[in-house]
């Protein structure tokens, strides 16, 4: 049995895995952070479920899905995450889960403070600001040191908690969409606990590429999606609430759809994408067939290392994401240091080299180009990126 780290560089093995995905001709996709491709097997199963629900319509949904089947699907998901089914509510995306947790958190009193940093996702940042404004509370915003280290990230929070002892609630992004920085979430959650601060964890980019232990992290509130790294159809997400803390999140918009206490009242109400949920067993089976989060994560990081090693040697290019193995994943950002706006380089990468990337703004380290490898990325794709960076680098 090869070690997972060695397996990550076994091109023969990963070539066979890449064959499980249908990829359209056209630009090389290095923007896999937007959402993940489904394997062919999942796409076919999803199509079957679409046809099935289209034929059976409300007859199946009323008689089976609304009652037992949605609970079976939730139990399956809970089993994979090793949490109680009662701690999970299905949502249509991570934002739905996270925004509901933020707006319905009941622990805020006049005078309390809320904390965000410069790396939060927009929907989380906006919701935190909205709550602060609606309730007349103070918003504390920190900017992480750049380049970030494990210690500098922890220190950023340590200082914030010491300087602002009235912080009651904070957002924490496991993997930031801007630079791919992986936060030392477990240590930050422990620190927050010592200071009496509740954490709402944004796990959107973590699930499926980082092998974390949800119950072991000690977080009470979290939101995830399944359409980035697990490989599910779009529109699947879920909310996690530690059952001991359910009373700290009010039913969303006063929902009374289920007799209380029930976490499902905390999820925004509406018709879910039922065929997508029906494909979840196939999604989870394929995810495990590919080796689960650990093997997938190692492979993605090996591909990322391949281009980052080269990019770090090039003049005029700064790789923003650290190489500390605790702090990075598939996503890494760079910038051309002579440019304030990176968008023209994104356009050149596409026009001259057939490489799709995306510009990201908003973090304190400035405008950058986000490069995200995926499960269907090949070494040839990475070599094309390296060629482009060599040619575009200025000495
Ligand atoms: C860090 C982060 N959080 C949350 C989200 C929102 O996820 P969703 O599209 O499932 O609402 C994203 C989406 O890109 C993200 O990158």
Which residues 6+ apart lie within 8 Å of 121 measured at CB? 95, 98, 173, 176, 177, 202, 204
Q: Return the domain boundaries, the chain.
A: 4-30+292-392, 47-285
Residues 309-347: pLDDT tens digits?
999 999 999 999 999 999 999 999 999 999 999 999 999
CATH topology of domain 4-30+292-392: 3.90.1150
- Give the residue whose CA is nearest to atom 16 of ligand 1: 177
- Give the residue whose CA is nearest to atom 12 of ligand 1: 204
Q: Are 358 and 370 in contact (CB under 8 A)?
A: yes
- Give the residue whose CA is nearest to atom 5 of ligand 1: 204
* CATH dotted code for 47-285: 3.40.640.10
Give kind and range of the element (H or E) at residue 359.
strand 358-360
Q: Which residue has the tokens 């999942």?
A: 42
Pocket mutation for ligand 1, best pick of 91, 94, 207 (most atoms within 8 Å of C-beta): 94
321-325 — which CB contacts under 8 Å span 24+ positions?
A: 321/179, 321/180, 321/181, 322/147, 322/148, 322/149, 322/181, 324/149, 324/150, 325/301
Pocket mutation for ligand 1, best pick of 32, 121, 176 (most atoms within 8 Å of C-beta): 121
Closest CA to 143 of 169, 120, 123: 120
Q: Cα 26 to the chain's mean position, in Å?
A: 26
- Give the residue whose CA is nearest to atom 7 of ligand 1: 94
Residues 153-182: pLDDT tens digits?
999 999 999 999 999 999 999 999 999 999
Q: Exposed/middle/buried for 94, CB within 10 Å: 0-12, 13-18, 19+?
A: buried
Centroid of ligand 1 to alpha carbon of 313 (angstroms)? 32
Burial 270-284 (b: 16+ CB within 10 A, else e): eebbbbbbbbbebbb
Which residues 6+ apart lie within 8 Å of 26 measured at CB? 354
pLDDT at 73 over 80: yes
Q: Where are the beta strands (DSSP E) in 106-249?
A: 113-117, 138-142, 167-173, 198-202, 221-225, 237-241
pLDDT at 389 over 90: yes
Question: What is the sign of the dihedral through the CA atoms of 177, 182, 186 and 192?
Answer: negative
pLDDT at 363: 78
Residues 28-57: pLDDT tens digits?
999 999 999 999 999 999 999 999 999 999
- Site residues for ligand 1, CB cut-off 6 Å: 93-95, 121, 123, 173, 177, 202, 204-205, 225, 237
- Give the residue whose CA is nearest to atom 11 of ligand 1: 95
Centroid of ligand 1 to alpha carbon of 231 (angstroms)? 15
Residues 201-238: pLDDT tens digits?
999 999 999 999 999 999 999 999 999 999 999 999 99
- Mean pLDDT taken over the chain: 96
Residues 262-312: pLDDT tens digits?
999 999 999 999 999 999 999 999 999 999 999 999 999 999 999 999 999
pLDDT at 361: 87
- Give the residue whose CA is nearest to atom 14 of ligand 1: 34
For residue 175, give the ligand 1 atom closest to its CA: 1
pLDDT at 2 over 70: no
Residues 366-383: pLDDT tens digits?
899 999 999 999 999 999
Tell me the pLDDT band of 7, cut-offs 50, 70 and 90: confident
Pocket mutation for ligand 1, best pick of 90, 95, 233 (most atoms within 8 Å of C-beta): 95
* DSSP sequence for 299-318: HHHHHHHHHHHHHTTSTTEE
pLDDT at 1: 52
Which of helix, strand or coil describes residue 91? strand
pLDDT at 382: 98
* Residue 390 tokens, joined: 């060599």
pLDDT at 308: 98
Mean per-residue pLDDT, 76-96: 97
Centroid of ligand 1 to alpha carbon of 331 (angstroms)? 14
pLDDT at 3: 63
Centroid of ligand 1 to alpha carbon of 208 (angstroms)? 14
Centroid of ligand 1 to alpha carbon of 259 (angstroms)? 30
Centroid of ligand 1 to alpha carbon of 111 (angstroms)? 30
pLDDT at 135 over 80: yes
Cα separation, 322 vs 303, in Å, equals: 15
For residue 174, give the ligand 1 atom closest to its CA: 1
Counting every residue written for the chain, the total comes to 395
pLDDT at 365: 78
């Amino acid at each position: 049995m090869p070690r997972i780290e060695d397996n990550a560089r076994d091109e023969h093995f990963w070539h066979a895995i890449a064959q499980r995905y249908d990829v359209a001709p056209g630009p090389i996709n290095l923007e896999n952070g937007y959402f993940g491709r489904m394997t062919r097997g999942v796409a076919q199963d999803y199509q079957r479920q679409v046809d099935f629900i289209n034929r059976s319509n409300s007859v199946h949904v009323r008689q089976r899905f609304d009652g037992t089947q949605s609970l079976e699907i939730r139990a399956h998901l809970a089993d994979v995450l090793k949490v109680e089914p009662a701690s999970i509510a299905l949502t249509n995306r991570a934002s739905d889960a996270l925004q509901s947790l933020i707006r319905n958190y009941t622990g805020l009193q006049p005078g309390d403070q809320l904390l965000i940093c410069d790396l939060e996702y927009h929907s989380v940042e906006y919701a935190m600001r909205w709550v602060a404004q609606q309730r007349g509370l103070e918003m504390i915003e920190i900017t992480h040191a750049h380049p970030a280290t494990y210690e500098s990230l922890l220190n950023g929070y340590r200082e914030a908690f010491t300087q602002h002892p009235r912080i009651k609630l904070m957002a924490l992004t496991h993997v930031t969409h801007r630079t791919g920085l992986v936060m030392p979430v477990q240590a930050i959650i422990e620190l927050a606990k010592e200071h009496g601060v509740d954490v709402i964890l944004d796990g959107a980019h973590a699930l499926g590429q980082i092998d974390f232990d949800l119950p072991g992290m000690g977080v009470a509130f979290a939101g995830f999606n399944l359409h980035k790294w697990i490989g599910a159809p779009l529109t699947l997400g879920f909310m996690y609430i530690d059952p001991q803390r359910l009373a700290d999140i009010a039913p969303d918009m006063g929902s009374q759809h289920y007799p209380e206490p029930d976490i499902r009242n905390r999820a925004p109400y509406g018709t879910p994408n039922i065929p997508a949920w029906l494909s979840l067993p196939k999604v989870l089976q394929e995810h495990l067939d590919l080796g689960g989060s650990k093997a997938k994560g190692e492979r993605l990081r090996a591909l990322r290392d391949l281009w980052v090693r080269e990019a770090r040697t090039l003049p005029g290019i700064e790789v923003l994401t650290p190489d500390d193995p605790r702090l990075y994943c598939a996503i890494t950002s760079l910038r051309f240091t002579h440019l304030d706006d990176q968008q023209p380089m994104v356009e050149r990468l596409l026009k001259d080299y057939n490489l799709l990337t995306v510009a990201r703004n908003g973090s304190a380290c400035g405008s950058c180009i986000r490069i995200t490898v995926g499960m269907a990325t090949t070494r040839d794709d990475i070599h094309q990126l390296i060629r482009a960076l060599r040619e575009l680098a200025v000495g």
